[in-house]
């Protein structure tokens, strides 16, 4: 095997490992909600833009998540699975956000979730909420 071919093989192997071990599947059952009233979490802002590919976000339990619509048109971000949005109801905006509009929520359930555009079903964000140890 020549030098470039060896690195191509190594790269393909590493990519396959990352795809296999990445927590890209939503939790089968919603995790139990945590009482975040006594915990002060941080704040994370995510701007959703049409030119941005799927974003992978890791965030801590009880952090505040703020979504910002960076699209020039209204956007309806929602958790999966489409069309019911029942994997994390507190993360469902339940309406379209106008361009530049923000929406916030406290993340009270650890797990893996996807946010998608309700109108196009395009995956916008892969969100991993890390539990408190």
In the chain, what are the domains? 3-130 (2.60.40.420)
How far is residue 107 CA from its own chain's centroid? 11
What CA–CA distance (Å, rounded) separates 58 from 129? Answer: 6
Bridge partners of residue 47, in order along the sequence: 68
DSSP label at residue 120: T
Q: Could you please report the per-residue DSSP string of 56-99?
A: EEEEETT-EEEEEE-SSS-B-EEESSTTT--S-GGG---SPBPT
Identify the DSSP state of 32.
P
Over its length of 133 residues, how does the chain's per-residue pLDDT go in tens digits? Answer: 565 566 656 666 555 544 444 444 444 445 567 778 777 788 999 999 998 888 899 999 999 999 999 999 999 888 876 666 667 778 888 899 999 999 999 988 898 888 888 888 787 889 999 986 4
Task: Say what the pLDDT of residue 85 is.
Answer: 63
Distances from the Cα of 69 to the Cα of 38, 47, 54, 89, angstroms: 30, 6, 14, 19
pLDDT at 117: 87
């Amino acid at each position: 095997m020549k030098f470039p071919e060896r690195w191509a093989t190594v790269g393909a192997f590493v990519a396959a490992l990352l795809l296999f071990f990445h927590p890209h599947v939503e939790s089968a059952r919603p995790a139990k909600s945590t009482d975040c009233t006594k915990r002060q979490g941080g704040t994370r802002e995510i701007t959703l833009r049409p030119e941005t590919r799927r974003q992978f976000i890791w965030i801590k339990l009880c952090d505040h998540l703020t979504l910002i619509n960076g699209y020039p048109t209204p956007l309806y971000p929602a958790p999966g699975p489409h069309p019911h949005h029942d994997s994390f109801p507190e993360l469902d905006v339940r309406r379209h956000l106008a361009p530049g509009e923000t929406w916030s929520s406290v993340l009270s359930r650890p797990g893996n979730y996807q946010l998608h555009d309700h109108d196009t079903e395009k995956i916008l964000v892969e969100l991993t909420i890390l539990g408190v140890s």
